[in-house]
Structure 1
Amino acid sequence: MSAPNRIFDDLSKLMTNAVGVAQGAKDEAQTAFNGWIDRWLADRDFVTRDEFEAVREMAIKARTENAELRARLDALEGKTGA
């Protein structure tokens, strides 16, 4: 009765190893694909989301400062009667 059990054990080990190899191949393919995508995007001079958000925040701050300065100028012009 030990012979069928040994066959099943060997088959189980073989399947486990096959799943491990398949997972490794999947991970390697994913890494290669991600590298290709990164290079493709870099060649097109796209910005990252972080870079976009940083510039967006700078633009919002600049608009706010411009509005505040405009209000100060308007107030100064009102005082001088210009």
Structure 2
Amino acid sequence: MSDRPRFFDDLAGVAGGAFSALTGLREELHAMVRTRIDEVLASLDLVRRDELDVARELAARARSAQEDADQRLRAMEERLSDLEKALTTPSTEG
């Protein structure tokens, strides 16, 4: 009877060792796949999400500044046109 529990203890030890080996193998495989994916992504010259968000924000600010500059330019052109009309129109005073 004492042989039987030892057999199960040995079997449990082998199973535990195999489980540990498989866990280690899984982690090693995961690390290898992750490294390979990182290499492929680096070779594709892709942009990280946070860099894309920053670029979008810069583009939005530039677009807003451009719209403001266009509006100011239109206002200046209108003022210049009004001044030119005032200078070319004969004065009725006098």
How does the TM-score come out when normalised to structure 2? 0.73
Q: Deviations over 1:15-55 (max 9, x none)?
A: 11211111111111111111111112212222222222221
Please list every run of 5 or more consecutive structure 1 residues that lacks an aligned counterpart in the other structure: none
User: How far apart, in 1, do the equivalents of 2:78 and 2:5 lie?
Assistant: 97
Q: Which of structure 1's runs of 4+ aligned residues deviate more than 4 A?
A: none
Alpha carbon RMSD of aligned pairs, Å?
1.7
Identity %: 34
Larger helix share, 1 or 2: 1
- Looking at structure 2, the residues matched to 37 and 61 of structure 1 have their Cα atoms a distance apart, in angstroms, of 34
2:54 aligned residue: 54
| TM-score when normalising by structure 1 | 0.81
- Segments of structure 2 that go 5 or more residues without pairing to the other structure are 83-94
C-alpha distance in 2, partners of 1:4/1:78? Answer: 102
Aligned length in residues: 82
Structure 2 residue identity aligned to 1:25 = L
